[in-house]
């Protein structure tokens, strides 16, 4: 069986969980970049740094700010780094999904016009965060059930 250039895992296609993590990370990078593009982001002149007063709307629907876009870009870069390994992909999709469920809960309980709404989020963002949280968790759990598991306990050096 052919080994990779570093003598680790056999060369071949990447596990689906890694491909999913890279795809999700790519979408975050794209969305983060599009948040800074006038036309794609309506009311671009109202784009604020980190406040609920930012009136900019990505695709005319999702309220964004400079901080919100920067978080998407950072999360996308982090996802690409973590997608290099199966374990990292699981962490990105699982912990990221849990984090987005937490952001959904945050957006659900705060008053939209309060100073606590610093990301900012609106109702469309809340529904997106809910779907994103469950979607990322599902990808992380369902796509990795045959990768890195076996009949014996693995040791850290065996993990891809």
Three-state DSSP string of the chain: CCECCCCCCECCCCCHHHHHHHHHHHHHHHHHHHCCCECCEECHHHCCCCCCCCCCEECCCEECCHHHHHHHHHHHHHHHHHCCCHHHHHHHHHHHHHHHHHHHHHHHHCCCCCCCCCCCCCHHHHHHHHHHHHHHHHHHHHCCCCCCCCCCCCCHHHCC
Residue pair 30/38 in contact by the 8 Å Cβ criterion: no
Q: What is the mean pLDDT of residues 21-25?
A: 96
**Domain interval for residue 131:** 16-144
Rounded CA gap, 84 and 14, in Å?
9
Rounded CA gap, 58 and 32, in Å?
10
Evaluate whether residue 136 is within a structural domain: yes
Evaluate whether residue 69 is within a structural domain: yes
Evaluate whether residue 60 is within a structural domain: yes
Q: What are the angstrom distances between the C-alpha of 88 and each of 21, 52, 72, 129, 152?
A: 9, 33, 18, 21, 21
Could you tell me what percent of the chain has a pLDDT over 70?
Answer: 74
Could you tell me what percent of the chain has a pLDDT over 90?
Answer: 41
Evaluate whether residue 4 is within a structural domain: no
Q: At 143, is the pLDDT very low, low, confident or very high (cuts 50, 70, 90)?
A: confident
Residue pair 143/16 in contact by the 8 Å Cβ criterion: yes
Q: At 12, is the pLDDT very low, low, confident or very high (cuts 50, 70, 90)?
A: low
Q: What is the mean pLDDT of residues 32-51?
A: 85
| For residue 6, pLDDT beyond 60 | no
Mean pLDDT across the chain, nearest whole number? 81
Rounded CA gap, 21 and 17, in Å?
6
Domains identified in the chain, total number: 1
Evaluate whether residue 5 is within a structural domain: no
Evaluate whether residue 159 is within a structural domain: no
Output the six-digit token pair for 13.
């296609």
For residue 31, give the nearest of 65, 59, 72, 60 by alpha carbon.
Answer: 72
Q: At 149, is the pLDDT very low, low, confident or very high (cuts 50, 70, 90)?
A: very low
Evaluate whether residue 160 is within a structural domain: no
Q: At 147, is the pLDDT very low, low, confident or very high (cuts 50, 70, 90)?
A: low
User: What integer pLDDT is reported at residue 146 of this predicted model?
Assistant: 58
| For residue 118, pLDDT beyond 90 | no
| For residue 158, pLDDT beyond 70 | no
Evaluate whether residue 150 is within a structural domain: no
């Amino acid at each position: 069986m052919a080994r990779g250039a570093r003598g680790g895992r056999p060369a071949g296609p990447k596990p689906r969980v890694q491909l999913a993590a890279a795809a999700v990370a790519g979408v975050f990078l794209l969305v983060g970049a599009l948040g800074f593009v006038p036309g794609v982001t309506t009311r671009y002149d109202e784009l604020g740094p980190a406040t609920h007063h930012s009136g900019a709307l990505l695709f005319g629907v999702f309220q964004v700010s400079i901080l919100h876009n920067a978080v998407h870009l950072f999360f996308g870069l982090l996802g690409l780094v973590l997608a290099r390994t199966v374990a990292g992909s699981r962490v990105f999709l699982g912990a990221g999904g849990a984090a987005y469920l937490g952001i959904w809960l945050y957006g659900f309980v705060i008053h939209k016009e309060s100073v606590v709404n610093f990301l900012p989020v609106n109702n469309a963002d809340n529904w997106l965060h809910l779907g994103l949280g469950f979607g990322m968790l599902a990808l992380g759990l369902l796509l990795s059930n045959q990768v890195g598991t076996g009949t014996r306990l693995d040791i850290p050096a065996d993990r891809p």
